Amino acid sequence: MTRGPEAALLARYEMVVGLEVHVQLKTATKAFCRCATSFGDAPNSNVCPVCLALPGSLPVLNATAVELAVRAAVALGCTVHGTSVFARKNYFYPDLPKGYQISQFDKPLATGGHVTIARADGSTVNVGVTRLHMEEDAGKSLHDRFHGVTAIDLNRAGIALIEIVSEPDMRSTQEAGAYLRAIKQILQYMDVSDVSMEEGSLRVDANVSARRRGATELGQKTEVKNMNSFTGVENALAVEFARQCAVLDAGGVVEQMTMLWDASAGEVRPARAKEGSHDYRYFPEPDLPPLVLDASWIESVRARLPELPQARRSRFEREYKLVAYDVDVLTASPALADYFEAVARATTDAKAAANWVMGEVLAALKSTGATIGSFAIRPDRLAELLRLVRHGTVSHTAAKQIFSAMVASPEAPDAIASRNGLLQVSDDAALGRWLNEVIAELPKEAERYAGGEKKLQGVLIGAVMKKSKGSADPKRLAQLLAARFGT
């Protein structure tokens, strides 16, 4: 998708974007029952009377879900309210077992936060977070599994979600993408969600409108759904914005409606009219008392908050003396940052650690498809390798070969080096040089050894070992020494 048309349109029209992000919380059990939340299990295997909506069952709130939601809210700078109220959002759909979704409506968990993003020109802007509320997921309708019928999988029904609603503060697809990536990074750092659009643990609905440059009133917005990647969101927004601009250019009026993104066709299509015109008949959920949170408990969540991405970036610059670009790469995900930091601390050479992680490690992840968490070379092993390089035990070139071997083998780097003859000191020339130096430094001992005092072999070899910092091969050294003096 080219951004060319967007740039041209942006000269005449302003794009106004607000995003609704739904995020599955990383709880072991569902929001209102104790069923497992694991992804990919046999359909309808993680279900119980509550999430099947059997007659007479009642919801009981998952305390961990509340803690994760509060952690996310605090991380987004929101005010967490001491009292919030669950509400029923009523609509009929086969994958919504109760006929209503338990959500929050007029009294959400948290309001009034913001996310700082970088604009294309490098300046930063705050995108307001209107509200963050808790709700439950619906099940899945599988239309293509069996011929002619729709199958329902309720494993997902009742999984805890948060919905994060932004202010209409974004002015381009680039800003929308930056906001989504920032939200994803913050939630990853907070360890509240897997934030995977592929697995459906993060979903985005976008509201977009166009107004002529200089206009103060917002244009009529439409809602765009069905995007399955951040790039998809950016592309869908560009296409829908262009469609609205064309309508306005033709003197027409943008109608309020829901558009569905078709990624393969690169098009937006209006959803059936009904989609947009629901009357959800919200009312307070009588089966759950209001959610009352102690101010001191909210503060304790704040106090235990993991390090935020921005804080970590600043600390990396300060502590490891890294340039901004390197810091951005290394802090892209908390797992990568943790990995780098473990290597840096074990080697005390942050620059080398940064170069290796950004170079060899990221390349290996890309080629093997592994995640940093499952990567074969753990940080302590990589640190060992870096130490070998630093101590001159192996050459930089050899180290890259050792690294490749380590991806496939759990062996220690020095063992790999030694087995493959990659130790610099197995080389006779180097050993010979050290030997020459030692003979020059200890001429008497050398003379006595040459004269047949075999016991001085230990003194001479020991001196070489010391000089080589223990990396010389003593067996080879003894052979060279014997050959030198014909003993």
Partner 1 sequence: MSVSSHGRRTAAQIAAGVRAGTLTAKDVVSSALARAVEVDAVDKLNVFLALAGQQATQQAVRVDASDGARGAPLAGVPFAAKDNISVAGLQVTCGSRILEGYVSPYSATVIERLREAGAVLVGKTNLDEFAMGSSTENSAFGPTRNPLSPDLVPGGSSGGSAAAVAAGVVPIALGSETGGSVRQPAAFCGIVGVKPTYGRVSRYGLVAFASSLDQIGVFGACVADASTAFGVIAGRDDRDATTADVAVDDYLATEGSLKGVVIGRPREYFPAELDAGVARHCERALDRLRSLGAEVRDVSLPHTAHAIPVYYIVAPAEASSNLARFDGVRYGLRIEGDGLRGMYEATRSGGFGPEVTRRIMLGTYVLSAGYYDAYYRKAMQVRTLIAGDFRNVFASGVHALFTPTTPTPAFPFGSRSDPYEMYLSDIFTCTANLAGVPALSLPIGRVGKLPVGGQIIAPHFAERRMFQVAGALERALGAEAHR
Contact pattern from residue 20 through residue 49 relative to partner 1, giving x for each residue in contact according to CB under 8 A and a dash for the rest: -----------------------------x
Q: Which of 121, 217, 279, 294 binds partner 1 (CB under 8 A)?
A: 279
Name which of residues 280 to 299 contact partner 1 (CB under 8 A). Answer: 281-283, 286-289
Check residue 58 for interaction with partner 1 (CB under 8 A). Answer: yes
* Binding residue (CB under 8 A) for partner 1 from 18, 97, 113, 219: 97
Residue 88 within binding range of partner 1, rule CB under 8 A: yes
- Shortest distance, position 227 Cβ to partner 1, whole Å: 25
Question: Shortest CA distance to 212 belongs to which of 18, 384, 443, 9?
Answer: 9
Q: How far is the CB of 108 from partner 1 (least distance, A)?
A: 18
- The answer to whether 405 and 388 are in contact (CB under 8 A) is no
Q: Does 61 bind partner 1 (CB under 8 A)?
A: yes
The one among 4, 11, 42, 55 contacting partner 1 by CB under 8 A: 55
State yes or no: residue 221 binds partner 1 (CB under 8 A): no
Is 263 a binding residue for partner 1 by CB under 8 A? The answer is: no
Binding residues for partner 1, total number by CB under 8 A: 28
Exactly one of 98, 312, 381, 387 binds partner 1 (CB under 8 A); which one? 98
Which member of 6, 14, 59, 110 binds partner 1 (CB under 8 A)? 59
CB of 70 to partner 1, least distance (A): 18
Q: Does 148 bind partner 1 (CB under 8 A)?
A: no
Q: How far is the CB of 217 from partner 1 (least distance, A)?
A: 24
- Nearer Cβ to partner 1, position 63 or 323? 63
Q: Is 94 a binder of partner 1 (CB under 8 A)?
A: yes
Q: Return the number of the residue (107 or 448) whose C-beta is nearest partner 1.
A: 107
| Tokens 């070139």 belong to residue | 397
Tokens of 368: 């093997």
| CA–CA distance, 320 with 361 (Å, rounded to integer) | 18
What's the chain look like in SS3?
CCCHHHHHHHHHEEEEEEEEEEEECCCCECCCCCCECCCCCCCCCCCCCCCCCCCCCCCCCCHHHHHHHHHHHHHCCCEECCEECEEEEECCCCCCCCCEEEEECCCCCEEEEEEEEECCCCCEEEEEEEEEEEEECCCEEEEEEECCEEEEECCCCCCEEEEEEECCCECCHHHHHHHHHHHHHHHHHCCCCCCCCCCCCEEEEEEEEEEECCCCCCCCCEEEECCCCHHHHHHHHHHHHHHHHHHHHCCCCCCCCEEEEECCCCEEEECCHHHHHCCCCCEECCCCCCEECCHHHHHHHHHCCCCCHHHHHHHHHHHHCCCHHHHHHHCCCHHHHHHHHHHHHHHCCHHHHHHHHHHHHHHHHHHHCCCHHHCCCCHHHHHHHHHHHHCCCCCHHHHHHHHHHHHHCCCCHHHHHHHCCCCHHHCHHHHHHHHHHHHHHCHHHHHHHHCCCHHHHHHHHHHHHHHCCCCCCHHHHHHHHHHHHCC
Contact call for residue 57 and partner 1 (CB under 8 A): yes
Place of tokens 């937006």: 268
By the rule CB under 8 A, 152 interacts with partner 1? yes
Side-chain half-sphere CA neighbours of 8 within 13 A: 7
CB of 283 to partner 1, least distance (A): 6
- Nearer to partner 1 among residue 144 and residue 279 (C-beta): 279
Cα–Cα dist 379/385, whole Å:
10
CB of 292 to partner 1, least distance (A): 12
CB of 85 vs partner 1, minimal distance in Å: 12
Amino acid code (one letter) for 49: P
What sign results for the dihedral spanned by CA atoms 196, 197, 202, 206?
positive
- Measured from the CB of residue 86, what is the shortest distance to partner 1 in angstroms? 10
Contacting range for partner 1; rule: CB under 8 A; set: 181-189, 196-204, 278-286, 409-417: 278-286
Piece of 56-64, 130-138, 368-376, 395-403 that binds partner 1 (CB under 8 A): 56-64
Among 36, 53, 442, 459, binds partner 1 (CB under 8 A): 53
Q: Measured from the CB atom, is 271 or 407 closer to partner 1?
A: 271
Position 92 contacts partner 1 (CB under 8 A): yes
User: Does 272 interact with partner 1 (rule: CB under 8 A)?
Assistant: no
Residue whose CB is less far from partner 1, 150 or 371:
150
Query: Starting from the edge strand earliest in sequence, which strands make up the sheet with 86-90, in order?
Result: 100-104, 86-90, 283-284
**Contacting range for partner 1; rule: CB under 8 A; set: 14-22, 53-61, 343-351, 445-453:** 53-61
Q: How far apart are CB 50 and partner 1 at their closest, in Å? A: 9
Of 7, 8, 60, 215, the residue at the interface with partner 1 (CB under 8 A) is 60
> Contact between 90 and partner 1 (CB under 8 A)?
yes
State which residue, 14 or 136, has the beta carbon closest to partner 1: 136
- Residue ranges binding partner 1 (CB under 8 A): 49, 52-61, 88, 90, 92, 94, 97-100, 152, 279, 281-283, 286-289
